Amino acid sequence: MPLEAFARSEALTLGVELELQLVSLSDHDLVDTSPDMLALLGRKPFPGNVVPEITESMIEVSTTVQRGHAGLLDQLRQIRDALVRAGDRLNVGVCGGGTHPFQHWSERRIFDKPRFVEVSALYGYLARQFTIFGQHVHVGCRSGDDAMFLLHSLSRYVPHFIALSASSPFVQGEDTLFSSARLNSVFAFPLSGRAPFVLDWREFESGFFAAMERTGIVKSMKDFYWDIRPKPEYGTIELRVCDTPLDVERAAALAGYLQALCAWLLERREDPPTESDYLVYTYNRFQACRFGLDGTVVHPRSYEAMSLREDILATLRHVQPQAEQLEGEAALDHLYRTVQEGNDAQWLRRCHAESGSAEAMVDAALGRFRGA
């Protein structure tokens, strides 16, 4: 069916989705309890929305539409508290992190929902390996053209969000040496990566999407696993590269940074994005995944190599006026501290080194999510 019209939404509004781990409090492995968790959470009003994810050891929560960082953080804390209370009743822990450090994908069960069953049939073992956990941030756009402009203008800053959110250094009991190993699993899907370079919404809708639909490969935007994708039904763009942070404070800060950055980009003080901006995209993305804040990226216009940490700090300073206008200074303050103190991947490695135990590391992550 044709792609739906791009819904008009209030510019720069925010929404956040978090994919979260359900953990056994006895052995700290993932546990297949999302049906019970969803049933319990459905008995009383929930501050946002909660839905199943592809395997039964994970759930996805989302906020309502928010205008700024403070309201977003407040609702994320309410969501967290509701999840913790429900988990306590079921003897199940809830935590963030882009991967569970020692779970085995072969033990996971696909949630009984038609779309998930269809995805599993199409992608085989990749579907169960998709027991990974990301944060998605939606930013409201006044038009489809604004959405495509922001989508491509943000390509240079994708490594910032990967490095700041990275929380997936361990996979199946091994230190991967990556800061964000989660994105390696996403990249295995054939419709992942970057969106095609189209700046005009009508051209995207009637050209690219219509052609893809005719091939029979896609039915909706959900079939694309791009790093950033437009969501016409919401009137947003959706940034999908972030690992789920270990606490909701960082999740809100990342959204606040994205909001301020989009506000600055919409002032159109820079040259518009071009296809050549993507020459260094995959390299820069890899640097952020592998080395996190210690990575080195190449500027897409000047080809200057620079420290990712310094590039983030310079950009945070650059968008400070926009953050102040949006009352989001606290979001940038949080990320300044993150750059100085290290991301969640570094925190998890420290926990593992100090305790010598993957189970103790998971227990510490459970405490971080609770706000303990």
Confidence at residue 283, expressed as pLDDT on a 0 to 100 scale: 98
CB atoms within 10 A of CB 222: 11
Report residue 124 as tokens: 């085989």
- Which 3 state secondary structure label does DSSP give 269? coil
Q: Are strands 170-171 and 58-62 parallel, antiparallel or unpaired?
A: unpaired
Q: Do the beta carbons of residue 47 and residue 78 sit within 8 Å?
A: yes
* Chain centre distance of CA 222: 15
pLDDT (0 to 100) of residue 277: 96
Strand partners, 175: 170
- In angstroms, the CA 312 to CA 275 distance is 23
Instruction: Select from 299, 294, 303, 284 the least CA-distant residue to 194.
Output: 284
CA distances from 131 to 17, 21, 143, 307 (A): 16, 9, 34, 31
Q: What is the pLDDT of residue 122?
A: 87
Q: What is the pLDDT of residue 126?
A: 87
Q: Where are the beta strands (DSSP E) in 194-352?
A: 225-226, 228-231, 236-243, 296-298, 305-307
Output the pLDDT for position 1.
Answer: 66
Task: Please report, for residues 62, 95, 102, 109, 199, the alpha-carbon distance to residue 76 in angstroms, rounded to integers and kept in the order given.
Answer: 8, 13, 27, 28, 33
Predicted model pTM: 0.97
Phi, psi of 246 (to 5 degrees): -80, -15
Whole-angstrom CA distances from 315 to 149, 179, 309, 335 are 19, 21, 10, 11
Q: Decide if 23 contacts 249 (C-beta within 8 A).
A: no
Per-residue pLDDT of the chain (372 residues; tens, 9 = 90+): 678 899 989 999 999 999 999 999 999 999 999 999 999 999 999 999 999 999 999 999 999 999 999 999 999 999 999 999 999 999 999 999 999 999 999 999 999 999 999 989 988 988 898 899 999 999 999 999 999 999 999 999 999 999 999 999 999 999 999 999 999 999 888 999 999 999 999 999 999 999 999 999 899 999 999 999 999 999 999 999 999 999 999 999 999 999 999 999 999 988 999 999 999 999 999 999 999 999 999 999 999 999 999 999 999 999 999 999 999 999 999 999 999 999 999 999 999 999 999 999 999 999 999 997
Burial zone of 218 (CB within 10 Å; 0-12 exposed, 13-18 middle, 19+ buried)? middle
Q: Give the angle subtended at the CA of 56 by the CAs of 227 and 351, to the nearest 5°.
A: 70
In angstroms, the CA 232 to CA 236 distance is 6
Q: What is each CA distance from 172 to 65, 120, 125, 320, in whole angstroms?
A: 36, 21, 15, 40
DSSP-derived pairing of the beta strands 236-243 and 134-140: antiparallel
